[in-house]
Amino acid sequence: MGVPRKMRSSAPLRAAAFGLAACFGLALAAPLGAAAEDVVEQPAAAAEQAAEDPAPAEAPAPQDSGVADSAADDFLAEYEDLGAGDPFEPTNRLVFGTNEAIYQHVFDPLASVYAFVVPKPVRRSVLRFFENLGEPANCLNELLQLNPVRAGKTGARFVINTTVGVVGLFDPAKRVGIVRNSTDFGETLGVYGIGEGWYLVIPVLGPSNVRDLVGDVVNGFFHPQTYFLAYVPQAILATSSGFSRYEAARLELDALRDSSVDFYAAMRSAYLMQREADVREARASSPVLGRGEEDVAAAPAER
């Protein structure tokens, strides 16, 4: 498997992607559980009806509403659409399985010890610290997305949390209404219409695609620590950041794993849908790039 770019300091979206992935998996599990209950209850109801009416009238032949077939067709169509962008699926699945083994036998035990030893408020402060390090990159990408208002808020958030919030350990900016917005250069490329390309699973790092892989490389140059720290401190920061993010999202990932028939396909769907939604939202929020879409949407109504 792979954790969607969780092990990279240049990709802060992965915590949100896991949250979406967990919701997606749990949403699938709920109707399946309800269907299982119906299977158990229906025989009992049929027995009671037979006892009350020994000679029931001949029941009409059941009619196929086509709802189940339609849902199955939609699922297969979506799977085929995603699979069309995954020509390296056999190799991706092999890397995915290797990543799963690494996570379960190395990172999961370490995360369990970390969660046991370090109190939750402290773990949250550590995560805030790493998120704060990514705010300059977020601000620069928002400028590239032609969204100066959002970039200004992100810049203000970085200044407030770095000073009053003690290098980001606390989040006073949120208390005054300046919430965090995560973005990256892969999303910036998507805003300008560059396609995602082939789906890829990167060793240890997890789900990605050609566009986001290039975006991660460029996004690394947007982080201030790249220019002020040596390679070893940078590596320590990147590893610590990825581990902290992985620990925070571990429960959501486990929920998706337990509720998925095909964990690889579920992760691929969650990743691609999340990235598509992020690009769409970033473009719509841009006062320049989003205006063109509004004009196109309003054009039919004006005719």
Query: What integer pLDDT is reported at residue 32 of this predicted model?
Result: 33
Please give the Cα distance from 279 to 264 (Å, whole number). Answer: 23
Distances (CA, A) of 294 to 144, 284, 285, 286: 20, 8, 11, 11
| Global confidence as pTM | 0.70
259: CB partners within 8 A, 6+ apart? 25, 26, 28, 29
User: What radius of gyration, in Å, describes the C-alpha atoms of the chain?
Assistant: 24
Question: Which band of pLDDT confidence, cut at 50, 70 and 90, is reported for residue 225?
Answer: confident
Say how far apart CA 214 and CA 45 lie, in whole Å.
59
Q: What is the pLDDT of residues 87-108, one digit of tens each?
A: 999 999 999 999 999 999 999 9
d(C-alpha 190, C-alpha 185), whole Å: 9
Please compute, for residue 42, the number of CA atoms within 13 A of its CA located in the half-sphere on the CB side: 6
What tens digit of pLDDT does each residue of 239-286 get? 899 899 999 999 899 999 999 999 999 999 999 999 999 999 999 999
Give me the percent of the chain exceeding a pLDDT of 70.
68
Residues 139 and 158: beta-carbon distance below 8 Å? yes
In this prediction, residue 70 carries a pLDDT of 58
Q: How far is CA 233 from the centre of its chain?
A: 28
11-58 residue pLDDT tens: 333 333 333 333 333 333 333 333 333 333 344 444 444 444 444 444
